[in-house]
Amino acid sequence: MTRTITIDPVTRIEGHAKVLIDLADDNSVESAKMIINELRGFERILVGMEAAQMPLITARICGVCPSAHHLAAVKAIEAAFNVDPPPAAKLQRELLYMGHFIHSHAVSLFALAGPDMIFGITGDRKKRDIAAVVEAMPEVATKALRLRTLGQKINELIGGRGIHPVTAVIGGMSTRMTTEKLNEAKSMAAESLKLYNELAPTVKEMMNNLLEELPSLTCAGFSLPSSYMGTIRDGKVNFYDGDIRIVDETGHQTAQFNVANYTDYIVEKPVDYSYTKPVFLKQPIGDNNLYRVSVLARLNLTDQMETPGAQAHLDEYKAKYGPTCHLTIMQLWSRLIELQYACEKAVEICEDPALMGEARIAASPRAGRGVGHVEAPRGTLIHDYEIDEKGIVRSANLLVATQQNYEAINRSIEQVVQLFGADDDSLLDGVEFAIRLYDPCLSCSTHAVGQMPITVEMRKNGALTRQIARRP
């Protein structure tokens, strides 16, 4: 008999999804799929538009990570036009981007994952939201929300707009840095780092409490050995620029390449159940072509951070969990380390005298292919354009982080069903939590238009046996 419990929507992720779980005769999980049935439209919408407009237009794919698309697009078009912006422009962009990371990671840690860490994954759902966090820990919540605000303000100060930045243009930035603006950025960066240092011990304590409550989150059943991909500059993690590195599940480097050559290493594979196209390694490493991107991946493929505090934090983390950690729960700690790096890096950039230099050079359209990338908070983001001699986009491919983590998310859902699937409530708690750890941006992964409903369906031999949803 089919059971239907309606609880809609799943909360604290960017977007909504339907989850389909196939069971074997013995009720073990054969497969788990997060299904996004919405139009993937932006890659077609961009065809016929002026290439120089891509940084403005693609920033509107999503209100969660517009700065990532803004910068990936401008770098791609500059590659096509053979333009190298001045150092001051690159520093401005990187400062803008540190603000974006501060904002995004603060939201993810405190507003989205925070209720899980404070109240437990299986705690009272009426308390598992940001309002309950504010009530239970007002001082922590106030500082966390202020940190999130400062990140957004840095992004707005340099980017011209908080949600959809406009200042990165082909050849550099639209304006030079002024003394007044620099002093404002310095103040906000310094306050961000101060707040981070005050909040970090609390986050570690909350994480430890969560792991004590549910030690199964660090067991082999919730570990996902895979390859990892991210961006390295001078051997260190960098969010804005560098080569792409791939390591295997032991941490051994298997490839390092310029982003223009990404199609030699990874491939999209459309599926018949979702508009999000998963991405795999083109040449399997061993018998596995699964790889992951994002915070855990970036720390797994490097031994070094660019700032001293983040490096010390990374050393502490790797001493405890090893040089290559496959525990999906450690996305939380990895995000905390990156938040420290973004705060410290913002302070460092503000002290760089090159930031005050000329910020733009002339650029002219030309025919060709342009590929650019950044490390979005959720992982590697690639923009790829073919441009004609009039500077018009003739094809576009946008490869986003959630696509690249899509198969890993499905496998993590499968794992938590085994760990938490004894009853409907535990099943939904586990599935939500597994998805949330990847901090997915579902609208980015499909370039979606419209609403995305969510249910969980369980099937056996192709027949629906259980359907679960949730209302708040």
Residues 432-471 have pLDDT tens digits of: 889 889 988 765 544 433 333 446 666 666 676 667 665 4
Q: How confident is the model at residue 299, as a pLDDT?
A: 98
* Average pLDDT over every residue of 257-267: 97
What b-and-e string marks burial along 416-449, b requiring 16 or more CB atoms within 10 Å of the CB?
A: bbebbbeebebbbbbbbbbbbbbbbbbbbbbbbe
Say yes or no to pLDDT of 420 above 90: no
Residue from 329, 301, 294 nearest 223 by CA? 329
Predicted confidence at residue 37, as pLDDT, reads 63
pLDDT of residue 445: 45
Bigger pLDDT: 112 vs 347: 347
In this predicted model, what pLDDT tens digit does every residue of 277-326 receive, in sequence order? 899 999 888 778 999 999 999 999 998 999 999 999 999 999 999 999 99
pLDDT for position 8: 37
The answer to whether the Cα torsion of 252, 332, 186, 64 is positive or negative is positive
pLDDT of residue 133: 87
Per-residue confidence band for 1, with pLDDT thresholds at 50, 70 and 90: very low
Determine what percent of the chain is predicted with pLDDT higher than 70.
Answer: 89
- Check pLDDT > 80 for residue 274: no
Coil/strand/helix, residue 267? strand
Cα separation, 239 vs 468, in Å, equals: 39
Q: What is the pLDDT of residues 132-176, one digit of tens each?
A: 888 999 999 999 999 999 999 999 999 998 889 999 999 999 999
In whole numbers, what is the pLDDT of the chain averaged over residues? Answer: 88
Distance of alpha carbon 346 from alpha carbon 189, whole angstroms: 6
Q: State the average pLDDT over residues 216-230.
A: 93
Residue 6 has pLDDT above 50, yes or no: no
30-51 residue pLDDT tens: 888 887 766 657 888 999 999 9
Find the range with the poorest average confidence among 24-28, 108-112, 373-377: 24-28
Tell me how far CA of residue 280 lies from CA of 29, 229, 238, 420, in angstroms. 22, 11, 23, 28
Q: Which of 99, 15, 102, 94 lies closest to 62, judged by CA? A: 15
pLDDT at residue 14 is higher than 60: no
Query: What's the full length of the chain, in residues?
Result: 472
8/415: higher pLDDT? 415
**Is the pLDDT reported for residue 112 higher than 90?**
no
For 380-393, what is the mean pLDDT? 97
- The better pLDDT of the pair 270, 115 is held by 115
* Span 243-272, average pLDDT: 95
**Token pair listed for 15:** 């977007």
Q: What is the DSSP letter of 107?
A: I
At residue 272 the predicted structure's pLDDT band, cuts being 50, 70 and 90, is confident
Taking CA 313 as the corner, what is the angle to CA 405 and CA 99, rounded to the nearest 5 degrees?
A: 65
Position 408 scores a pLDDT of 95
225-239, 268-282, 332-346: segment of lowest average pLDDT = 268-282
Which is higher by pLDDT, 398 or 428? 398
Q: Which residues contact 17 (CB under 8 A, 6 or more apart)?
A: 10, 34, 35, 36, 435, 442, 452, 454
* pLDDT above 90 as % of the chain: 65
Residue type for 73, please?
A
Task: Pick 90 or 8 by higher pLDDT.
Answer: 90
In this prediction, residue 443 carries a pLDDT of 54
